[in-house]
Structure 1
Amino acid sequence: MRIRELLWGAARRRPRDLVRLFGWSFAEAAPSFVSGQAIAHALDDGFAAGRPVAGLGWLMLMAAAWLTAAIGARQVLLAVAHIVEPFRDALLRHVVAGTLHRSASSGLRPDSAAVARLGRQVELARDSFAAVIAVSRSFLFSVAGVVLGVLTLTDGVLPLVLAPLVAGLALFSASLPAMARLQRRLILAEEGTASSLASMVDALRDVTACGAEDRVEAAVGRDVARQAGIAKALARLTAVRTLSLAVGGWLPILLVLVATPSLVRDGATAGVILGTLTYVAQSLTPALGSLVQGVGVNGVRLVVALERILATGAGPPAGSRGGREITAYPATASLATSRGAAGAPLRLRGVTFAYGPDAEPVVSDLNLTVPEGDHLAVVGPSGIGKSTVAALAAGILRPAHGRVLLGGVPVESLGPESLRRARVLIPQEAYVFRGTLRENLAYLAAGGAATDSVLDGAVEAVGMAELAGRIGGYEAVVDPSELSSGERQLIALTRAYLSPARLVLLDEATCHLDPAAEARAEEAFAAREGTLIVIAHRLTSALRARRVLVMDGVRARLGTHEEMIAGSPLYRDLMGRWEDPVAAGACDTPSENRHWAIKCP
């Protein structure tokens, strides 16, 4: 039922293209009606009556019908493309979103091989959907043209055509469920064989070293044999398609020929008999053959591919960690969400998170409250879990235990759009796309647009005015490959500054900036309305913050700089590696940072 709704929805969402498709189908089906009539009249009223000009005129009419059909076929293909390409894009979004859901909820790297396999299924579904639309529509219009044409010639021959056609369609329909089951098994077998072969190739050295060639050969051979057996069974079943075509497409010709003496006695002319055979042989039989081939192969593939996509690409997947269903929203380079939810405090209550079910927790039983307007710096050694805390706070990762609340609302209950407007996260690798500078800066802004004066204010505050001028202004096209990492970070920071989100998370988002540029950007966000959380790349970020969260293993300490100096040995150790650059005579730093500037090489 879900697949049927998906396919019908894909067609229904494009009503203009659907109307265009059916309109041009009439033109494409013109020979289905005209051909038999033209042959019958050309023979009876033209050549047999000694009027060759009239006979040629009817044949020219048939040629004109075929020319019209060629034009209609081209337009039909364009209309089908306008329906199936958005369908393909929707399936790809589904696959990517599902992959990100599973990756975010498990904390594991996305399975690129699985994504590639699902991408192949998407392309298969797109091509199969297009083929099913094309052949089904062609069959319906062709049969309608044949029925009308035969009725206008002689209604006595219609049962000879329709009865075998119905029988052939019934036989074909009865074989479809078994075909679908075998096609599904074949796809799974193909994936199993591919996986076995890939594992064998990756482990060739170990296999040889352990002398396990025979064992591995037997295991892979079983997968290959299984796939071959299913393929043979499917091939045997496809013989039913040939039988269906013989019954529905060729048997009517035989019946008409056998019944010719009786039809002639009832007044049928040679032209009527030949026109009827033309209808069957030239229109009905090819249309039925296309339907049997198209639905029997592409229709079955379409259903199976969609089942695979919906089953493995859907998000969030059902899973449990701590007895709860795990859900996740996709991570992006920059995210922003609902002013209502983000304007209230961020709370983490008993949050525990590990990358994998058997891994040691990166964060364990963390309790943290960040009130509205706070400025928090998160510090600690590399790999200690600082970015994990940011991802948990942003709702990108889901904890195994505990809760993350934005404004008292569980983050998992916020929809993607609400979450997007509530907070903005800028990671270390800033995302800049090819487009104008205005588009890059303003696409998180309210309504996706910002006036020049608003852009000017943000650009000046964050410190990218010089870069904006060098790029050529807001309407200049940005080529990400021509920007340095620091320049991309400045653009991403300005974009976050312009977003409506009142919770800003900077996950080492200034690591490619010099200390002065970093200080200016952080001070701009601190002065901006809302809450700021900085995953510190330099300890100067801790000195600018109101409070500091020190990550120390799975433990965490929270307080002011002075409180952390007094109570956290790790924080004292980190700060102890710094010295006054003025006393050392090494380098110049902003005066407010000089007592804790990083030692120059």
Structure 2
Amino acid sequence: MKRDRARSGTYRRGLAFLRRRWRVLLRLGGWSVLEMGQTFLLGYALARALDEGFLAGRPGTGLGWLAVAGAGVVVGAYGTGRVYGAVAALVEPLRDRLVERVVARGVREADDGALSGLTQQVEIARDTFAGLVMVSRSFVFTAAGALVGLFSLAPPLLLVVVPPLAVGVALFAVTLRPLARRQEAYLVADEALAARLGAVCPGLRDITATGAEDVIGADLAVYVEAEERAASALARWSVVRVASLAVGGQFPAVLLLATAPWLLAHGVTPGALVGALAYVTQSLLPALRNLVHGLGTGGSRLAVVLRRLTGAEGQPGEAEEADGQAGQGTPAPDRPASRTVTSPGRPASRTVTSPGRPASRTVPAPPSPPPPALRLSGVTFAHGPHAEPVLQGLDLDLPDGGHLAVVGPSGTGKSTLTLLAAGLLRPGSGTVTVYGDPAGARAAAARRVLIPQEAYVHTGTLAENLSLLRPGPVPQRELLAAAEAVGLTPLLERLGGPEAVVDPAALSAGERQLIALTRAYLSYAPLALLDEATCHLDPEAEERAERAFAARPGGTLLVVAHRITSARRAQRVLVMDGPRTAYGGHEELLDRSPGYRELVGHWDPASQPALALGDADGVDAVAGAGLAGDGRHVVAHGPVGQVQRPRDLGDGGALGGE
């Protein structure tokens, strides 16, 4: 029932999409009329060429009618060429809309199928939709031209051709819904097998080393057999398709031959009979074959792919669609008004009655404290079944409105922590919740936003890039205020304003990060996860961006820090260093965490060599807008740790004597 309603929702959206493009449909129909004329002339001119020309002893007349049929082919080819342009105007907006939906779901919901949706399923939908438009249009106008031609030649011909044609089309129409179900079952089985193989293949060495080939093989066999059953069920329906094609496209030709004596006895001329055979074999049969194969396979596949790409499953009604939009990043209230939160084992209220008094009063139970923005309880995670855990029994509470910096040496799990919070990874044990909801749930996806180190910017206007995490266009006043808060305004003005077209290749890494940060700032998600998201900004730009996120009303910030200044700005600091993991304030950790003191010493500008910018020896300090580093590190022109050869520097010596 739920799936049927989802299909109904998909069809409604499809009809709405077509209604908005009625002008394109009119243009498509207008050019298709030329093909209809070509079909009409094919049988009609052939019949006249025989009856009035060759059979009457007038070959010139017969050749003239054949020339008319040839002219119809030229006119029809011209119309077909114009049809492709109209189909493109119908198909490309669909593709653009699907890409927007896939990218939105991948960014906001941590959807692990977003890459497949963007690279494969969107193109399947685009190509399949274009094919369906072509074959459906061709069948309708070809059938119309052929039926008009049959009526013009001799009305009795319709009595022979139309009934089997109608039965074949009806039989095919009955199979469409079962085909869609089998197609969907096959896609689900195929995706399950691909996901399982994706999990198994990286660990083939471990599987062989532990002798687990039989166990893993038996597990994979279950997925393979499930896909085989789904494929077999889908293939069985091809028999029905063949039957509908035989009844509707091939049987009429047999009937015309079988009833030829009766037709000739009732005024049908030999030329009209030959023309009718041409209509059936050269027009109706190919058009029906294209319709059956195109709509039978492509139509069901398109319906399934569209539901999966647009998230129509479980969202057919208006209320459900609104819920789906919330999962795409629409602002969700902290708690629905109708939702009651009661602590386990504690009644919502208790009744106190004094002895001897009939009256009683109800004392509400104390309200439960709101859940933290992010909670990790006993979380353990390893990158493989036999790998050393990166996180081991980690407990962490980040309160709503908090500001946490995560620091530690490389490889200690800082990025893993953000991916767990974003729902992109699942813990081996323990739980991860976002505002009380599991990190992988849709409700959690709507309340967090992850900004990775490599910022994503697509070709389009700056406003379109900044609005990706919003369900609709962002008011310009709000967009400009966000750009000012995060520090994007100079770049926005240099590019020419919000409507300026952005070329991602022309932007520096720091500029792309500023766009991604402003996009996340504009989202409705209160929890922002910055995973080295400011590494290409200078310290001042980084501080401005972090303070903007920390000051957002109701905003909570978790930042993986790569400068000591980020840790000093945070309310609390999490030091991730295996057994030396520690949690606390900056000053507190300086007193009791040796690992944190080592990091601070490494970051401290006083402990790093300082060279002037533009040094004559070509060794420049890392500083300035858009460059990584904290202003005291150096970039050498040789590998780190390698002794420089004599005369390498201007004074003929080595760098620092090393």
2:399 matched to which residue of 1? Answer: 366
After TM superposition, the structure 1 stretch with the greater mean CA deviation from structure 2, 357-366 or 297-306, is: 357-366
The one of 27, 47, 51 equivalent to 1:20 is: 27
Is the Cα–Cα contact under 8 Å of residues 377 and 395 in structure 2 kept in the other structure? no
Q: Which runs of 5+ in 2 are unaligned?
A: 1-7, 317-322, 332-368, 381-392, 423-431, 438-442, 576-580, 613-629, 635-658
Is the Cα–Cα contact under 8 Å of residues 326 and 398 in structure 1 kept in the other structure? no
Say whether 1:39 aligns with 2:46: yes
Q: Which runs of 5+ in 1 are unaligned?
A: 104-109, 317-323, 336-347, 370-376, 403-411, 559-563, 590-596
Deviation of residue 202 (structure 1)? 2.7
Per-residue deviation, residues 355-381 of structure 1 (Å, max 9, x unmatched): 699677875272549xxxxxxx76564
The one of 86, 94, 97 equivalent to 1:90 is: 97
Q: How far apart are the structure 2 equivalents of 1:364 and 1:49?
A: 97
Q: How far apart are the structure 2 equivalents of 1:352 and 1:38?
A: 77
Say whether 1:4 aligns with 2:11: yes
1:190 matched to which residue of 2? Answer: 190
Higher RCO, 1 or 2 (CA under 8 Å, sep at least 6)? 1
The one of 372, 377, 381 equivalent to 1:351 is: 372
2:112 matched to which residue of 1? Answer: 111
Deviation of residue 278 (structure 1)? 1.6
1:295 matched to which residue of 2? Answer: 295
Is the Cα–Cα contact under 8 Å of residues 87 and 126 in structure 1 kept in the other structure? yes
Say whether 1:122 aligns with 2:126: no
Deviation of residue 160 (structure 1)? 0.7
Q: How far apart are the structure 1 equivalents of 2:243 and 2:212?
A: 48
Matched position secondary structure for 2:63: helix
Deviation of residue 165 (structure 1)? 0.9
Q: How far apart are the structure 1 equivalents of 2:467 and 2:240?
A: 60
1:141 matched to which residue of 2? Answer: 141
1:54 matched to which residue of 2? Answer: 61
2:161 matched to which residue of 1? Answer: 161
After TM superposition, the structure 1 stretch with the greater mean CA deviation from structure 2, 153-162 or 174-183, is: 174-183
Structure 1 pair 311–514 and aligned structure 2 pair: CA distance change class (3 A) = closer
Q: How far apart are the structure 2 equivalents of 1:234 and 1:506?
A: 44
Q: How far apart are the structure 1 equivalents of 2:117 and 2:461?
A: 35
Q: How far apart are the structure 1 equivalents of 2:328 and 2:265?
A: 76
Deviation of residue 277 (structure 1)? 1.6
Counterpart residue type for residue 397 of structure 2 = S
The one of 436, 447, 450 equivalent to 1:401 is: 436
Is the Cα–Cα contact under 8 Å of residues 578 and 598 in structure 1 kept in the other structure? no
Q: How far apart are the structure 2 equivalents of 1:537 and 1:326?
A: 35
Deviation of residue 463 (structure 1)? 11
1:220 matched to which residue of 2? Answer: 220
Deviation of residue 439 (structure 1)? 10
Q: How far apart are the structure 1 equivalents of 2:122 and 2:78?
A: 30
Q: How far apart are the structure 2 equivalents of 1:310 and 1:271?
A: 53
1:270 matched to which residue of 2? Answer: 270
Structure 1 pair 144–195 and aligned structure 2 pair: CA distance change class (3 A) = same
Per-residue deviation, residues 521-567 of structure 1 (Å, max 9, x unmatched): 589979x9999999676565798x8xx62346899989xxxxx9699
Per-residue deviation, residues 362-409 of structure 1 (Å, max 9, x unmatched): 75272549xxxxxxx765645889x97xx99xxxx983339xxxxxxx
Matched position secondary structure for 1:24: helix
Matched position secondary structure for 2:271: helix
Per-residue deviation, residues 212-231 of structure 1 (Å, max 9, x unmatched): 33443344345434434443
Is the Cα–Cα contact under 8 Å of residues 525 and 532 in structure 1 kept in the other structure? no
2:238 matched to which residue of 1? Answer: 238
Deviation of residue 23 (structure 1)? 1.0
Counterpart residue type for residue 549 of structure 1 = Q
Q: How far apart are the structure 1 equivalents of 2:168 and 2:523?
A: 63
Matches within 5 A, 1:189-208: 189-208=189-208
Q: How far apart are the structure 1 equivalents of 2:117 and 2:76?
A: 38
Per-residue deviation, residues 572-596 of structure 1 (Å, max 9, x unmatched): 99799589x999998799xxxxxxx
Deviation of residue 155 (structure 1)? 1.0
Say whether 1:78 aligns with 2:85: yes
Is the Cα–Cα contact under 8 Å of residues 46 and 66 in structure 2 kept in the other structure? yes
Structure 1 pair 94–52 and aligned structure 2 pair: CA distance change class (3 A) = same
Q: How far apart are the structure 1 equivalents of 2:536 and 2:186?
A: 51
The one of 452, 461, 476 equivalent to 1:447 is: 476
Counterpart residue type for residue 277 of structure 2 = L
Q: How far apart are the structure 2 equivalents of 1:301 and 1:582?
A: 60
Matched position secondary structure for 2:139: helix
Matched position secondary structure for 1:351: coil
Say whether 1:150 aligns with 2:157: no
What is the count of residue pairs matched by the alignment? 522
Is the Cα–Cα contact under 8 Å of residues 139 and 288 in structure 1 kept in the other structure? yes
Is the Cα–Cα contact under 8 Å of residues 98 and 313 in structure 1 kept in the other structure? no
Matches within 5 A, 1:325-340: 328-329=327-328
Deviation of residue 432 (structure 1)? 6.0
Is the Cα–Cα contact under 8 Å of residues 117 and 309 in structure 2 kept in the other structure? no
Structure 1 pair 364–165 and aligned structure 2 pair: CA distance change class (3 A) = same
Matched position secondary structure for 2:268: coil
Is the Cα–Cα contact under 8 Å of residues 567 and 573 in structure 2 kept in the other structure? no
Percent of pairs with identical residues:
37
Q: How far apart are the structure 1 equivalents of 2:193 and 2:501?
A: 47
TM superposition score normalised by structure 2: 0.61
Matched position secondary structure for 1:354: strand
Deviation of residue 329 (structure 1)? 4.9
1:250 matched to which residue of 2? Answer: 250
Is the Cα–Cα contact under 8 Å of residues 28 and 86 in structure 2 kept in the other structure? yes
1:309 matched to which residue of 2? Answer: 309
Counterpart residue type for residue 111 of structure 1 = D
After TM superposition, the structure 1 stretch with the greater mean CA deviation from structure 2, 53-62 or 10-19, is: 10-19
Q: How far apart are the structure 2 equivalents of 1:10 and 1:368?
A: 42
Q: How far apart are the structure 2 equivalents of 1:42 and 1:125?
A: 45
Counterpart residue type for residue 56 of structure 1 = L
Matched position secondary structure for 1:211: coil
Q: How far apart are the structure 2 equivalents of 1:210 and 1:504?
A: 42
Matched position secondary structure for 2:399: strand
Deviation of residue 146 (structure 1)? 1.5
Deviation of residue 326 (structure 1)? 12
Counterpart residue type for residue 175 of structure 1 = T
1:592 matched to which residue of 2? Answer: none
Structure 1 pair 199–504 and aligned structure 2 pair: CA distance change class (3 A) = closer
Q: How far apart are the structure 2 equivalents of 1:433 and 1:233?
A: 41
Per-residue deviation, residues 174-205 of structure 1 (Å, max 9, x unmatched): 33343333323322333343344444433322
Is the Cα–Cα contact under 8 Å of residues 355 and 361 in structure 1 kept in the other structure? yes
Is the Cα–Cα contact under 8 Å of residues 132 and 299 in structure 2 kept in the other structure? yes
Higher helix share: 1
TM superposition score normalised by structure 1: 0.66
Deviation of residue 491 (structure 1)? 7.6
Matched position secondary structure for 2:434: coil
Is the Cα–Cα contact under 8 Å of residues 371 and 435 in structure 2 kept in the other structure? no
Q: How far apart are the structure 2 equivalents of 1:185 and 1:500?
A: 35
Is the Cα–Cα contact under 8 Å of residues 353 and 361 in structure 1 kept in the other structure? no
Structure 1 pair 156–225 and aligned structure 2 pair: CA distance change class (3 A) = same
Matched position secondary structure for 1:294: helix
After TM superposition, the structure 1 stretch with the greater mean CA deviation from structure 2, 134-143 or 533-542, is: 533-542
Structure 1 pair 222–60 and aligned structure 2 pair: CA distance change class (3 A) = same
Counterpart residue type for residue 24 of structure 1 = W
Deviation of residue 17 (structure 1)? 1.5
Deviation of residue 350 (structure 1)? 4.5
Q: How far apart are the structure 1 equivalents of 2:153 and 2:605?
A: 105
Q: How far apart are the structure 1 equivalents of 2:189 and 2:574?
A: 48
Deviation of residue 12 (structure 1)? 2.1
Is the Cα–Cα contact under 8 Å of residues 135 and 294 in structure 1 kept in the other structure? yes
